[in-house]
Structure 1
Amino acid sequence: MQALEKGITKNRVGSRETTWNILGQTYYPKAVCETTFAFETNSVPDDFLSPRNK
């Protein structure tokens, strides 16, 4: 089994500097291995994915 990479990534920087843009939303993968997948996304107010959307 592949081990999870150690370390801390900065805000808006993905693991290995990877960034995904899906339907206008930016995702930054933070932890990826056989058993784990974690990512960061930063939604702005009034974004179609934001809970404040009216």
Structure 2
Amino acid sequence: MIILGLILLIAGWLLNIGILSTIGWILLAVGLILLILGALNRPVFGGRRYWY
């Protein structure tokens, strides 16, 4: 998600398309938040403790 956000952000800047830059920033922020939560061993989106 972080890589996709960076690609859209760069494409938005190069092509001068504002919506791509906005979507890129959003994906980058969400990807970083999920990365931090995963590094802290916190369940993300109601993860289950056991899978049957």
TM-score bracket relative to the smaller structure: under 0.3
Q: Which has the higher helix share?
A: 2
Structure with bigger gyration radius: 2
The structure richer in strand per residue is 1
Determine which structure has greater relative contact order: mean sequence separation of CA pairs < 8 Å that are 6+ residues apart, divided by chain length.
Answer: 2
TM-score (norm 2): 0.21
